[in-house]
Every structure is written in structure tokens, then in C-alpha cells.
Structure 1
Amino acid sequence: MGRGDVKTKRGKIFNKSFGKTRPARTRKAAAAAAPKAEKKA
């Protein structure tokens, strides 16, 4: 358990990988979070 364990969230962050424990941001979630620069006239 720890940084070397790829089955844990911390291990996945250390290994720069994604999976069930550490899901990558999906395109749908990234697209919904992006348009925050709207200006009201």
C-alpha cells in the first residue's frame, strides 16, 4: 500500500495512470466545466 501500489489511488497518481480507482476526466465532464467565461451584456 502506498505510492508503489498501482491498485490504490495514490499509487495511480504516482504512476500517472488511470483506472477504476482513479477515473480520468471524461470529455463530457471536461466540456461542461469549461464554459465559465460567459459575460452578460
Structure 2
Amino acid sequence: VEPVDSKAFLTAYYGELRAHLERKLLLGNRKADKYAR
């Protein structure tokens, strides 16, 4: 495996992982706001 390919893979992987976590946090915050009010 070439370093460039592995770097591109990691970049895409972490990008998806971060997007997933951010969506999870947004849903959690939205739910918390609903209960707070």
C-alpha cells in the first residue's frame, strides 16, 4: 500500500467518522433542548 493511498483512505475515513459524530451530537443537543423547554 502506498503512503498516498493510505493517507487518502484515512482522510476519508476520519472525515466520515467526524461527520457521524457531529450528527450524533446535533441530535443529542436537539433532544436536550426539547426536554429543557
User: Normalising by structure 2, what TM-score?
Assistant: 0.31
More helix by share: 2
More relative contact order, 1 or 2 (CA 8 Å, 6+ apart): 1
